[in-house]
Structure formats: C-alpha cells, structure tokens
Structure 1
C-alpha cells in the first residue's frame, strides 16, 4: 500500500509545473520495471480513492506503455498477470463512473486488443470468455443505450474503425454481423452528432476492405439506414447549417457503392437526385468539403453501376463538374474540392471512355497546374534547422557534417494525385490523349530524381508507369514525333536506373524502360545508350553478388539471430527483384535487336554464367537460365556459340529441387527445339526422358510444382512438333494427350493447342484414336481450356479449334457422344468458343 501511495506521488510529480520536480519524476518512472509499472498503473485506474488527475495520468501512461513497449514487456508476463490485466480493464470499463476515465480505459483495451490479434486476424487472448466480453463490449458500446456515455461510444467506434483497417479482411469476415448492426444503430443517435459521424467513419473503414460477398446480404438494410440519415441531415443542413454527419454519410454511401459495384444499381435512383442537389446548391465556402465529398460520391457510384445506368445523369453531372471546373481559378490553393475534382474527372473518364475526350480541354489546365507544383527544397545547417520545424510542413534528412536536406511537403499529395490522373487519361484514352503527350512528358521526365518524401516516390512510380502509355498515345502522330518523344525519355530513364537509390522505385523504372524498348523496337538505342546501359547492368549484377557475400558474412557474426536473418531475407528479396528487372531489360533488348546485340551482351556473359553455377541460390539460377532462354529464343542459331556456358547446366536443372529452376530450364528446351537450329538436336534428344520424368513424378501437379510441370509438357510438345527426329513421337503422343490441358501457364497452353490443332487437322491416327474414339477426350481438353481461359478468342488457335468442333457437329451421332460427356460448364465453354470464332 505504501508503494502504491509513493507511486501516486510520482504520478502527481509527473504533472508538476516545476521542471526540476517533473524531470526527477520522469527519471524515477523510467527505472521502474515494465511489469511493476503495469501493476501500479492498473491499481491507480481502479482505485476509487485516487484523484481524477492521477487516474487520467495512469491511463495515458498505460496506453502509451502498451503501444510503444508491448513486445518488450507483455510476452514476458506470466499468464496469470496477462489474465489479470484483461480482467481489470474489462471490470474498470463496466464499473467506472467517470466518462473521461472510462473513455481512456476503453482506448487502453482497444490498444491491447489490437496488439493481441495476429497477422491472420486470430485473437491471441487465451481466455475465450474475456475475449467475447471484450468484443461484446466493443459492439454494445456503439449502441445508443442510456448506460453508455457518448465518449465511450465514440471511443468504441474509433477502435472498431481502426481494427477494420488494421486486420482487414479477417476482421470483416469474423464480425460483419455485429459491426454493421452496431454502427447503423449508432448512426441513428440524433442527440450525439459527433458519435454519429464517428460511427459513419468506422462504417467507411469497414466497407472499404469488406469482401463484396459479405456486404451484399446487408445491402438493403445499409441503404435504407443511409438514405434515411442522409435525408434527415440534408434537412438539418438547410435549417441549421450543420454538416459534420452529412459529410461522413456521403462518404459512407460512396464506400458502400464502391464495394457493392453493380449490386448498387437498384439503389442508384434513391441517392442520385439528392447528391446532385448538394453539388448544385452547396456553394458556400464553409461547405467546400461537403461538396468535394459529394462529387467523389457521385463519381464512385457512377463507376460502380456502370455506363448504361449512369448515362441518363452523365450529362447533368458533367455540367455540374464543368461549372466547378470553370471556377477553378477562383478557388484557393487549399480548397479541398480540388483533389476531389481531379479524382472525379478520372473516374468519369473510366465511365465514359472515348466520349470523355471532348472534356479534356477544360480538364487538363487545372490538372497540369496541380501536377506542376514544384516542391520547395533547401540545404540547411544546424543553426538554420533551429528556426524551422517539421510542424511547418518540412521534412529533413541528415546529411552529416551538421547539414540537412529539407523538402516542404505541402502540395505534394495533390501533385501525386494529379499525376495519377494523367496516367489514367493516357491509359483510358490512348490516341485520344495525343494532344497532351508532349507537355505531360516534359512535366514528368524531370521528376526522375530521388527525394526522400513518400509522395515523391509515388510520383516517380507513376512517372515510370506513364512512359510506355505516353509512347502508345504518341504513335498516332507518326514515327518522327514518336522518336523525338522517346529520345527525351530515354536518356533520363537510363540515368535514373544508374542513380536511383530506392529499390522499389528503381524496379519500377527498370520495368518501364524494358516496356518502352519492347514498344519502340530495333533501333531505339544508339551506341551511347548501349554503352551506358551495359555499364549500369554490369554494375547491378556485380552489386548483387557483393551484397550476397556481405549477407553471408553477417550470418557468421556473433550478433546473428532470427531478427537479423529476417532483415537479411528482406534484403535478399529486394536484390532478387532487381535481378528480375535486369532480366526484363535484357529480354526486351534481345527481342528487339536479335543476334545483332550479342557482341554487346558479351560484357555481361561471365556474370550471367556465374548466376547459374550450382552453388548459387535458386533465384539466381532461375533468372540466369531465363536470360539464356532469351538468348536462344531471340538469337536463334547464333546463340549456339555460347552453348558451352549454359547447355549442360540447363539440362541438369531439369531435375533441380526448385520448381522455379525446373520451369526456366524446361522453357529453354522448348525454345531450343523451336528456334535453336540443328546444333541443338542432340540436346533435345537428351532432354526428352528428363522432361517425362518430371511430368510423371508423384507430386508433379501439386500447387508448387504445376507451373514447372506444364512447361515440361509444353517442351515435350515443342520437341515433337519442331524436332520430331529427336523423340519417339508415336510412343509419346498418347501420354502427351493425357497430360492436357495446361491450366496455369496460359502462354504455354496456346502452344500445346496449336500443336493439337496440327495433329487433328492432319488426321493423326494416334491423337484421333480408332474410329475417332479420342474425340470425347479432345472435346473435354478444349472445353477445359476455354473455361480456364487458356484459350481466348483472340488466339489464332481458337478459330482452328472451333472449326474442329463444327466438323464434329455436322456428324450427328458423334457430336452427341462428345457433348454428353461434358458437364454444364464445359458445354457452355464449347458454345462460347463457337460463338466467338
């Protein structure tokens, strides 16, 4: 008891206005062991004799302890103490008479609950009854019942909204019935608008990440409640000018529509007139946020219900947006309508498609203005830093030598959103966006340099995504215009690949560069480009090997433990991802330049050979083989000059323990047969039994093995098709037919169907069987291929397959026999193929 009284004195001193007393108290508090702190703080909260100030301080400290030091303290507590903590919190919530303290304890319980739910959403409280009590309290606290103080319900809504975000979608799957019911009832509490608004905000969090199938059964109830509340709050706005709840309800409607998609169509007419009315009449300055959110809501509903349902209102909505847009110059820079308008235009573009092009002259001016915001940057010394704080909208990175690099972040989020919209327009309108490609490229390319702020990283990612899209848009202007635009991009992209320090952004830049080369084709890179690119790629590969050595050294360090290993694995994943992008760039270069690029490639040859050494990690071997696959596929017989480096490892890799390595090796055998030429014949022969062995292995069709197995099946087919002298075709064909169809690897599936068409069209007796007895099996293979989208209408083989089916259809009895073996889904797939061809 004496200890507890001393602790109360300590808490009092922590609130002391005397700096010396407060500092001494903080030092004393820091020396108390974590478990003891928790015990003292809980006792202070539960002690009826303690003053409200002491109890409030204890609650604040306990929540902070559970938030910042949970992993250091809680797992080390005994099971009895953990149970006691939860029991004390629940008891305090139910018995505490002070609304302020009760709210703070509710926040503590929410923090503990959040920490005790694992990544899969499983609650780690072993005392199931306590968990149920906690959950029931959370939901019951939302309801407008007399015993629950508004602040408690406010806190419960906050906790539910946070958990809906942090643990989605598991939280939604487990608690959808309780949450939706509790929040809807709370939203009806007209006497407490702040609680109403917070319940609506929690509903937004819940529905944003709620699986559509879970939400649909509640749609009628949700819509009825939201409509009643919206109408009531709209009247309140007109009569009293209050808008807080209406702002949140409008966003709730948007979130529900966004998740429900086409299922929202029956409710469209219920909401759209009121929403248009708000946009048309909420023109006062204090209603800017409401108007912006309503514009967002209308565009999200339009996107959800689709063009056909939205079109009768599209013209009126567009006129409302256009009116706002023409007044844009009068809007203040911080007007919340700006960001909502920019996003709404992009959604309208998705809805209207090519019809949106007519609005570009109005839309693009303000959009380009927002996208052109220039971040304010500065190099500051320590003395300058004292006069600027992060609260002023600056973020800093310490550069050493008492210097820091700062960037003012105001406007960057809007800039990122605007650039995102430009990407959307380029993607949706394609050649219809050509008038703006030049100014967009000139705006975006200079962004290819690193800043540390997250919004700048987003901008770089958007920029790299836009490059291939803008080139596609520019095609319509002819090759000269296209080439000029590409040259403006190319230098910046190559330099960015060499200098970008952030691995996430670097991978996006490399991917974009590869896509651009594929799009531009042969001749897009000059000698200087090749020289610079070769040096950069060589550097990336050398860095890859060096980083692996450093990680191995860290594993031998005395400080090595599981946490270090987790960090090392993250670093390894980042390195491997960059390696995949090196492979992407080489793929695009080989596919564009063919064998002409081999002399340039030789500067990288030994590094690629190093990747496929047997002692390398499986990811290295996988991507090394993929690069040699491209050499064989695109450089045809010329590739054989490097056979000594990769052929033996490739054949050995067909039996590798890693399915990814097997897949890369099998693909390589297939392209050897298809493109490699005469010199590869012996190796195709040698590969056949190895491929068959992989296909017939016990676990060959398991989830982790199926892609490798399907590549092996495709490779066997390619050898029989292009190098029949390398295989006993008559012996293998019946087995090969039994291995079809391929359902996972869509590209290889097309190759197998092409070969199947060859065999059927030449009346191959082994494939058709005696008296066409294999046709039901062939029908089943085709039907499954169509149903699984392994065969698509745009594939050349789809017409050939449809022709085969029509021939059988004309034969009467044989058609009946073939169709009768198919289930309803498979029969529909056959009909879909006939209709599309």
Structure 2
C-alpha cells in the first residue's frame, strides 16, 4: 500500500511545472520494472480515491507502455497476469464514472487489442469482441460512447492497415447488432469519421493500389446505413461521389471484390434513404445503376450485384421494370448454374476431395453420391432475387415468367440435396410458384392454366417425396397458395387421388412418429438431451401438420361441398386429432380443419357434426389459448354459415364464450387472440343467429370490448356488425340522445390507428360515412372529437381522407 502511495506521488510529480522535480521523477519512473509499472498503473486507474489528473497520467503512461514496449514486456508476463490486465481494462471501462478516464481506458484496450493480432490477423483477445457486442445494448451511455470511440480511433491508425481493417470489421459487427435507437446519438460522429477514413483510403488506393481497409470501410458504411435507415438521409450526398468513383473506376481484376462491396453499399444506402432521395440518380438508362450492371458478371462478385439489383427493385417498385433487360441476362445465367454430380465408388472418392468443393452422400454398398457445390451460393442468391422481382413487379415481370418457371420447376425434382445451398434454392423454387402465377394473370386464363399445368404435377410429387421438413413445408405452403389463386377446376381426378394418398400418409406418419417418441421417453437412455431432440422432432411434425391444414383450407375454399367425398378418406384421421387425449397442437389444427369444413361446406357439413361438436364445445374452455381460439372461430362460422342445424350449438356455446371473455386474465398477452376470437364469435351469433342470444342484454358488454387490436381479420367482422347497428339506429348502441357516439368514435379511431381497419376494407367507407354524418351536427361533432387524443384525431382524419 505504501509503495502504491509513493507511486501516486511519483505520477503527480511527473506533471510538476518544476523541471528538476519532473526530471527526477522521470528518471525514477524509468527504473521501475515493466511488470511492476503495469500493476501500479492499473491500480491507479481503478482507484476511486485517486485524483483524476493522476488517473489520467496513469492511463496515458499505460497506453504508451503497451504501444512502445509491448514486445519487451507483455510476452514475458504470466498467463494469469495477462488475463488480469484484460479483465481490469474491461472492468474499468464498465465501472469508471469519469467520461474522460473511461475514454482513455478504452484507448488502452484498443492499443492492447491491436498488439494482440497475430501475423495472420487472428484476434488473441476474443473476450473483448464479446464485450463490445454486449455493450451495444447496455444502458450505460458512457460505456457505449467509449466503445465506439475506441473502435474509431483504432480505425484511424494509418500506420497499421491490418489493424484498421480489423477495427472496421469489428465496427461492422457492432453496428449490425446495435439497435437503431442506440446508434442514432452517435451517428453524426460515426459518419464523419468514416467519411474521413474512406477519403484517405481512396487516395491510398489511387496512389499505392492498397484496398484491404477500403473494402472494410465501405462495408462499415453500408452497415451503418442499414441500421440508421431514414436517419442516414443527410449523409447520402456526403458518401455518394466517392462510392460512385470506386464503381466507375475499380475495373481491374484485383479490384472486383471492392467494386462488388461498393455496389452493395450503394444499394443498402438507397434502401435506407428511400426512393425519393435516390430517384433522380436512377431515372434514365444512363443512370448509375445501369452503368454498374453492364459487364459485371464476375463469378466472385456477382452475388453482390444480384443482391444490389434486388434492393433497387424494392426501392423503385414498378419503375424498376425498365431495367429488367439489363439485369435479367446475368441473373438467369447465374440461377441456371447446374451442380456437377457423380455416382462414385470408394476408390473414386479417395481421388476427390471436399476441399475441391465436393460433398458426398453415402448410398451403401461402397457407393456414394457426390455433388460439387461450386457456384451454388450464387445460384441460391440469384433464385432468391428472381422471387423478389416477381413479388415486387407482379404483372411487370410477365415477360420473364415462362423462362423462370422452366428454371424453377426442375429444381423440385432434384432429390440429392444435403447441401444447404441447394436446399435454399429448392425452397426458393417452391416460394416462386404462386408469385409467378400472379405475374402471369395479366395474359389471361389460358396462359395462366398452361403455366399451372407445368407446375402442378411437380409440386404434388415433391410433397410426396421431399425428405427435408423445412423444404417440404415451403412446398406445401406454396401449393396451397397456388390452389387458392387458381380456384375451382385447377385439380383433376388424378391430382385429387394422388394428393389424397399423400395427405393420408402425412397424417399417419404424424401419429406414428408421436408413438415412437413416447416409446423413446420410456427408454433407459432417456435424459434431458434426448428430450430436447424429441421436442425438436415434434415441432417439425406439427409444422408439417399446419401445412396439411393449409392445403385442406385451400381445397375447401376453392371446391366447397363438392370435395367432401374426397375428404372422407382423411376424416377419421382428423377426428383422431381432436380427441381430448391428443397434444394441444393436434387438437388446435384438427379443429381448424373442421372450422374450414363448416365455413366452406355448410349446410352439408352438418352430417359430420357428431364427430367434432363435442370436441369443439370442450375446447372453448381448454387450457391452451390456441385450442380455445380455434374452437371460438368455429362457433362464429357456425353462426354465420352453418345454417339452422347448428342453432342449438350456438345457443349452448354462448354462455361459455361470455365466461371466457370476462375471465380476469382474458386480456393478458398469451390469451388475447383467443379472447378476441370469442368476442368476434359473440358478435356473429348476435348478427346472424339473434334468436340464440339475448341481444339487448349482451350488446352493451360487446360494445365495451371493442375494438379488436390483435386479430385483424376478426376485427373487420366486428366493425361490419357495428356499422349494421349504427346504420339501423340501434338505440342500445347509440344510447339516449346519441350519448354513446363519443365512445363509438374512440372505437373507430383506435381501429384505424392500429390498422384493424384499412382503406381497402369495405367497412371503412361505412365507418367514414358515420363520421361524416356526425360532422354536420355541430355540437355533437365537437363533443366527439374533443374526447379523442391527438393520435385518435389523426386516425379519424386519415379515415375521412382515404375512404
């Protein structure tokens, strides 16, 4: 302790205005061994009782020590001592109250980190990176500021390009993980530093040809723009001249990666700042975008270009159509890359290496299937971008639908795809099918049908043969979307026969897999690790079950009751799903399927009622909110579509629905969707089956539960009914002398503000008419509007402007 105090005095004397005292102190400081200096300096920095000027001197000296004498001192320290130094620095950055000292400690950490990069660029202090990323979400403003400051300072170390590049890479990771709200306070400083560094490195590229740091800085700018979004608008003009210069001039072979990253950066900035800001730069065929595209087909960098085009498509929307002739050539060429495949024996495999891009699947009998994966990442990216164009441009993409369909459909038939990149391309292929059909609609029903016939068989066969659950679920989802889009008549008898067998097989496999998992839980080797695996398998199975439900929903909504004879081959399996002993997910999706039967096949659906009504009644009070939601929805569609035969069940279910709504925890997060479906169901019973309810008694309660904010589809039903009641001058809803109108205004305003009502909904015009009628009533209008807060008043005005 005495030695430490003496050291504090020495540090103080190093700042003495007296030359003799200062010189003596410097000589005394130089005689202290390096390890002892480090120990004393760290102690001074962390000592809360130490004067700030002394702590400042200690921080300056420690950084200087690590900068000028690192090789002489640090490698000779014990591992424990090295760990202690790292720990002390990180702790001080977190706990230091003085912003000045905290920044200086961060500078020390940056200096140590710089010295701990080996010759290959490997970081020998990974804990610091973790600390930096954790600091992103820290509530300590000073800590975030110190971390950003340290990264920027290290990036400005012009004498060590390798260190600069690593600091830029760390900044990229930092900003990618940083929430927008936390980044914005530092945005101006961050941007200005990055601009200075970029300009300096661009000059260095021109003069010396060095590019490593510039590549990382460009990516850093892209990452900052991506996180800052519209807040980056003021800096658009600051960066674009330099970025354009790189793209237009970095044409040499060795600069292609830099060019690709710069194009990526420009597109991310464009996506961040929006169409209005970048529109003028992309308004003619001589625009910057087109000049980037010409001649840019280098395999190493094409993925940057392809991704940039997709972002520009999102920015410009339909206006991007004019650039398709430029971009589609290289895009289709990349998407058409065919993986090299081979059937190999053991001897052949020994002559082929995974390092050469080959991956192998063992087929037994000393044979393997080999696939060369070179180019597959670019292929997968290109396929994703084609999906993006179809989604954004719709009928504007129709000229290319035929060639894209011919590319995508064969992907569904490629069965050997353990490689994750091929799986991505297959998933994208499936996703593209309904989007391409939507694009093709503009050419009329004959063209659309021809395209669908090309897809349909391949989709059904893929559902029956696809082994990977992630890919399978996407194929099933897309098939369901296609049926909804094509409608009645899109499937022939052969299709129905094959599809029925496949769905029956999926349901039987679902039950079999559950039995196998239960058996494994009785195994003597069962433990927590196995349980996690079994739960993962169960989640995959349930997800496939949801897609079975999707397909049945699309078939019922398209074919109505005429499909019931076909459905009967699955009926007992669906009944098995809703048994009370089944897991809640089975019961949820079984009920959803019966909901579709009632909604789309009534009144013919009633012949199956004895198979599901009891299960639905019990499920209204189920412990699982998902099951309650499915059951409540079922009551609603029975009231709306079921017909006279379902009237007794609606009467019986109503008190249960009311009880669920009025339970104390009905509005907590996990219950709110189920509760809103109950509220909607009560409304449907009153609207379509008023003989089943005491409407005058229930209506005031129902009005107090509005609006629905979570389930947007059911919210529209409630607003439709509300419009019926208002337009018929229902005295209970309007109240004496229209006393309830301010409350009704609030319900409508909240619905619009929460997007529970949108301008395209039919009820929006009816609601706007209600508002307009009150507008002309003088005092009543003022009374209604003054009850609304600012957000609600804006919502009412938006409704009047758009409906």
TM-score normalised to the size of structure 2?
Answer: 0.86
For residues 402-421 of structure 1, the aligned pairs below 5 Å read 402-421=366-385
Q: CA deviation at 1:836?
A: 1.5
Q: CA deviation at 1:697?
A: 0.8
* SS of corresponding position for 2:568: helix
Tell me what 2:706 maps to: 740
8 A Cα contact 1:103 1:155, kept in partner: no
Q: CA deviation at 1:406?
A: 1.5
Residues in 1 aligned to 2:105 and 2:532: alpha-carbon distance in whole angstroms: 35
- Counterpart CA distance in 2 for 1:441 and 1:161 is 49
Q: Which residue of 2 aligns with 1:829?
A: 795
Q: Per the alignment, in what secondary structure is the counterpart of residue 397 of structure 1?
A: strand
Q: Where do residues 579-598 of structure 1 align in structure 2 (5 Å cutoff)?
A: 579-598=545-564
- 1:385: how far off? 1.4
- How far apart are the structure 1 equivalents of 2:349 and 2:78? 36
Specify whether residues 268 and 103 from structure 1 end up closer, same or farther in structure 2 by C-alpha distance, changes over 3 A only.
farther
Between 177-186 and 251-260, the greater mean CA deviation after superposition:
177-186
SS in 2 for 1:407: strand
CA distance in 1, matches of 2:653, 2:667: 20
SS state at 2:589 partner: helix
Report the CA distance between 1:129 and its aligned residue.
8.1
What's 2:611 paired with?
645
Q: Residue 410 of structure 1 aligns to a residue in which SS?
A: coil
Q: Which of 285, 290, 299 is the aligned partner of 2:267?
A: 299
Q: Does 1:669 align with 2:660?
A: no
> 2:132, 2:147 within 8 Å by CA — same for their partners in 1?
no
Q: 2:113 & 2:403 partners in 1: Cα distance?
A: 61
Gaps of 5+ in 2: 1-34, 36-65, 97-101
CA contact (8 A) 2:93 2:105 kept: no
Q: CA RMSD of the aligned region, Å? A: 3.0
Distance 2:106 2:491 in 1: 63
Change (3 A) 1:171 1:596: farther
Q: Counterparts of 1:629 and 1:97 in 2: how far apart (Å)? A: 74
Preserved contact between residue 133 and residue 177 of structure 2 (Cα < 8 Å): no
- Per-residue deviation at 1:424? 1.0
Alignment of 1:105-254 (within 5 A): 139-140=106-107, 143-144=110-111, 148=115, 151=118, 159=126, 163=130, 170=137, 176-254=144-222
Give distance in 1, aligned partners of 2:218 and 2:114. 30
Q: Specify the SS of the correspondent of 1:404.
A: strand
Matching of residue 466 in structure 1 with residue 432 in structure 2: yes
Q: Does 2:753 match 1:787?
A: yes
Most deviating of 235-244 and 820-829: 820-829
Contact 2:107–2:153 (CA under 8 A) maintained in structure 1: no
1:781, distance to aligned residue in structure 2 (A): 1.1
User: 1:756/1:154 Cα in 2 relative to 1: closer, same or farther (>3 Å)?
Assistant: same
User: 343-352 or 211-220, which moves further after superposition?
Assistant: 343-352
Offset at residue 327 of structure 1 (A): 2.5
From 684, 690, 702, the equivalent of 1:718 is: 684
Task: State whether structure 2 residue 306 is matched by structure 1 residue 339.
Answer: no
Counterpart contact for 1:141–1:152, Cα < 8 Å: no
Cα deviation for residue 402 of structure 1 reads: 2.1
Q: 2:569 corresponds to which residue?
A: 603
Q: What is the CA–CA distance in structure 2 between the aligned matches of 1:96 and 1:702, rounded to whole Å?
A: 58
CA distance in 2, matches of 1:181, 1:716: 59
The alpha carbon displacement at 1:464 in A equals 1.3
* Distance in 1 (alpha carbons) for counterparts of 2:78 and 2:436: 53
Question: In 2, distance between residues paired with 1:514 and 1:168?
Answer: 45
Q: Alpha carbons of 1:131 and 1:182: their partners in 2 closer, same or farther (altered >3 Å)?
A: closer
Superposed displacement of residue 176, structure 1: 3.4
Moved more, 353-362 or 792-801: 353-362
Distance 1:147 1:472, change over 3 A: closer
Asked whether 1:312 is paired with 2:312, we answer no
Q: Which segment is superposed worse, 397-406 or 250-259?
A: 397-406
**2:361 and 2:368 in contact (8 A); partners too:** yes
Given that residues 368 and 418 in structure 1 are in contact (C-alpha distance below 8 angstroms), is that contact kept between their aligned partners in structure 2? yes
Q: Give the drift of 1:377.
A: 1.2
SS of the residue 1:616 aligns to: coil
How far the C-alpha of 1:178 sits from its partner, in A, is 3.3
Shift of the 149–729 alpha-carbon distance from structure 1 to 2, 3 Å rule, reads closer
Secondary structure in 2 matching 1:373: coil
1:731-754 per-residue CA deviation (whole Å, 9 max, x = no partner) reads: 111111111111111111110111
- Judged with a 3 Å threshold, the aligned counterparts in structure 2 of structure 1 residues 574 and 189 are, in CA distance, closer, same or farther, namely same
The counterpart of 1:494, out of the listed 460, 463, 484, is: 460
The aligned runs of 1:523-534 (5 Å cut-off) are: 523-534=489-500
Is the CA contact (8 Å cut-off) linking 1:163 and 1:171 kept in structure 2?
no
Equivalent residue number for residue 365 of structure 1 = 329
**Superposition pairs of residues 380-391 of structure 1, within 5 angstroms:** 380-391=344-355
Quote the Cα distance in structure 2 between the aligned partners of 1:499 and 1:315: 47
For each residue in 1:484-515, what CA deviation from the matched residue of structure 2 results, as whole angstroms up to 9, or x when unmatched?
Answer: 11111111111111111111111111100000
Q: 1:160 to 1:825 in 2, by over 3 A?
A: farther
CA contact (8 A) 1:158 1:202 kept: no
CA distance in 2, matches of 1:666, 1:190: 67
User: What do residues 124-179 of structure 1 show as CA deviations (whole Å, max 9, x unaligned)?
Assistant: x9x9789979x999954553479956659966698379648987975799963333
TM-score of the aligned structures, taking structure 1 as reference length: 0.82
1:209 Cα shift? 2.7
CA distance in structure 1 between the aligned counterparts of 2:235 and 2:800, rounded to whole angstroms: 37
| Matched ranges for 1:749-760 at <5 A | 749-760=715-726
- Shift of the 205–172 alpha-carbon distance from structure 1 to 2, 3 Å rule, reads farther
* Alignment-derived partner of residue 15 in structure 2: none
Aligned twin of 2:339: 375
Pairing 1:429–2:393 present: yes
> Does the 8 Å CA contact 1:141/1:156 hold for their aligned counterparts?
no
Contact 1:141 1:148 in 2 (8 A): no
Q: Which runs of 5+ in 1 are unaligned?
A: 1-47, 49-92, 114-124
> Would you say the 8 A contact 1:713–1:739 is kept in 2?
yes
How many aligned positions are there? 727
